[in-house]
């Protein structure tokens, strides 16, 4: 029953098509083609779309090589009223045209007229890729920098993809054809590899594996004892009535209350990729406190204990540093504040974007001195340390992210690491670019 109805509908369509084939010039208006110029590697099929007011009739795609017409299609094509998509191949029996003046035309035999014309550019070669400088060592959980060259007369897209399928967006650097990109090795992934992938308008693609000197790092397991004042502190911090929580899991209760106050997903927020060309870029070691001792290292698997029992476990995605209670926190590098507020287990949190896909975050603060959208400069006072969120005592949780990946922030505190893995890599790249 359904099938019959469908078939009769289909016959009606064919009938309509027959009537419509007596078209006149005014019935077809093509507003635009999906691209102009059309860039094509003649070895592969070409797919182009036209948009406008179409009638069901015969359309032909014609390649004009100077005065010579090469018909790429010679059949009736299926058309919707607003869109016509044609896939065509270059005739295998013809030599490739050498003429530079190539045009692509949409020819309608019924009205003996071209309804749209576009310039056609032959592009038979894939983009050329060359790594010109890279950080000497890439540690598990850490960061690395790569500077490379990507060239193609019709370059469309350049990305870096790693073995965990994370995509990093490179930043055009100094002049056309050069890019820099920071990479982040997510600490939960046991090995690392990354490829530069470039494609052009004709669909030609190149892939180049980045020569990274990867190094495994063993991260430790540690215990975090949430002290006796935890319950009192959290009740006050979260604005809860003094609880009478007998026989329930207090830790789970406070954690839930904190998560309810979680406003943003930091990795998502810190994944905005850079755009536009950058001529100059420098970064120095972060120095969030004037002096500190590390109380918990990055990458540690931490088991949280409250009232003698293990309550949860997580990988530490930053470094804990402590000095005096409510110590002043400084911005180590300039940037823009992208988050300032309470955020779940990190308590009062600040996230600063430094450009190039680099982000720094500051957790468990008492006070935050800057607001979202504010520009901060190196050395600005941005907040004070504390124990808001899940914290066992007054400290700063200092985290770093590269395009949404939490990376080992201890590297970014180390001037020697900055010098050898960033500054010297950029110096080497600059020499090669300016040649
Ligand atoms: Zn921490």
CB atoms within 10 A of CB 25: 12
281 CA distance to ligand 1 centroid (A)?
29
For the stretch 363-372, pLDDT in tens is 999 999 999 9
Report yes or no: 140 and 215 within 8 Å, Cβ to Cβ: yes
Tell me which CATH code domain 17-122 carries. 2.60.40.10
Write the pLDDT tens digit of every residue in 315-332: 899 999 999 999 999 999
CA of 320 to the centre of ligand 1 (A): 5
In 3D space, the residue among 229, 206, 198 whose CA is nearest the CA of residue 387 turns out to be: 229
Q: Could you tell me the two tokens for 168? A: 């990093």
Ligand 1 centroid to Cα of residue 268, in Å, is 19
Pair 121, 200: CB distance under 8 Å: no
- Per residue in 396-424, pLDDT (tens digit) is 999 999 999 999 999 999 999 999 999 99
- The CA 152 to ligand 1 mean position distance, Å, reads 45
Measured in angstroms, how far is the CA atom of residue 344 from the centroid of ligand 1? 13
User: For domain 128-217, which CATH number applies: 3.20.20.450, 3.40.950.10, 2.60.40.10, 1.10.10.10?
Assistant: 2.60.40.10
**Domain definitions of the chain by residue range:** 17-122, 128-217, 221-416
SS3 content of the chain, % helix, strand, coil (to 5): 15, 40, 45
Would you say domain 221-416 falls under CATH 2.70.70.10?
yes
At residue 88, what are phi and psi to the nearest 5 degrees?
-140, 155
Q: At 350, is the secondary structure helix, strand, or coil?
A: strand
Would the pTM count as exceeding 0.85? no
Distance between CA atoms of 9 and 15, rounded to whole angstroms?
10
- Residue among 230, 237, 223 nearest 392 (CA): 230
User: Is the CB of residue 91 less than 8 Å from the CB of residue 42?
Assistant: no
pLDDT digits (tens, 9 = 90+) for 256-301: 777 777 778 889 988 887 678 888 899 999 999 999 999 989 998 8
Give the helix/strand (H/E) hosting 3. Answer: helix 2-20
Q: pLDDT (tens digit, 9 = 90+) per residue, 143-197?
A: 999 999 999 989 999 999 999 999 999 999 999 999 999 999 999 999 999 999 9
């Amino acid at each position: 029953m359904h099938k019959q109805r469908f078939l009769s509908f289909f016959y009606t369509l064919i009938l309509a098509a027959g009537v419509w084939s007596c078209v006149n010039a005014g019935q077809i208006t093509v507003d635009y083609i999906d691209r102009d110029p059309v860039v094509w590697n003649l070895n592969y099929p070409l797919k182009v779309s036209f948009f406008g007011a179409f009638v069901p009739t015969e359309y032909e795609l014609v390649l004009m090589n100077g005065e010579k017409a090469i018909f790429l299609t010679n059949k009736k094509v299926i058309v919707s009223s607003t869109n016509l998509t044609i896939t065509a191949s270059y005739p295998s029996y013809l030599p490739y045209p050498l003429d530079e003046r190539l045009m692509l035309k949409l020819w309608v035999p019924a009205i003996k007229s071209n309804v749209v014309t576009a310039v056609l550019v032959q592009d038979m070669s894939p983009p050329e890729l060359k790594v010109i400088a890279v950080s000497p060592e890439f540690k598990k959980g850490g960061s690395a920098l790569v500077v490379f060259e990507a060239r193609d007369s019709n370059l469309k897209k350049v990305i870096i993809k790693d073995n965990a399928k994370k995509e990093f967006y490179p930043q055009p650097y100094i002049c056309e054809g050069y890019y820099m990109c920071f990479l982040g090795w997510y600490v939960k992934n046991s090995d690392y590899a990354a490829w530069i992938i470039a494609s052009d308008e004709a669909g030609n693609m190149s892939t180049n594996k980045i020569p990274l000197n990867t190094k495994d790092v063993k991260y430790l397991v540690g215990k975090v004892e949430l002290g006796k004042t935890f319950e009192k502190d959290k009740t006050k911090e979260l604005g809860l009535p003094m609880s009478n929580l007998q026989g329930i899991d207090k830790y789970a209760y406070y954690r839930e209350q904190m998560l309810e106050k979680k406003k943003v997903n930091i990795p998502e927020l810190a994944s905005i990729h850079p755009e536009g060309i950058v001529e100059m870029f420098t970064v120095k070691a972060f120095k969030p406190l004037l002096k500190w001792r590390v109380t918990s290292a990055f990458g540690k698997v931490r088991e949280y204990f409250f009232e003698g029992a293990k309550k949860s476990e997580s990988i530490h995605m930053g470094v804990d540093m402590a000095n005096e209670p409510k110590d002043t926190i400084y911005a180590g590098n300039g940037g823009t504040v992208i988050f300032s507020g309470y955020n779940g287990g990190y308590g009062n949190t600040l996230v600063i974007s430094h450009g190039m896909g680099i982000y720094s975050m500051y957790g468990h603060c008492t006070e935050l001195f800057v607001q979202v959208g504010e520009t901060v400069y190196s050395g600005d006072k941005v907040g004070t340390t504390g124990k808001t969120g899940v914290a066992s005592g007054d400290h700063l949780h200092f985290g770093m992210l590269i395009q949404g990946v939490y990376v080992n922030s201890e590297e970014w505190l180390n001037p020697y690491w900055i010098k050898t893995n960033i500054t010297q890599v950029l110096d080497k790249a600059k020499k090669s670019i300016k040649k």
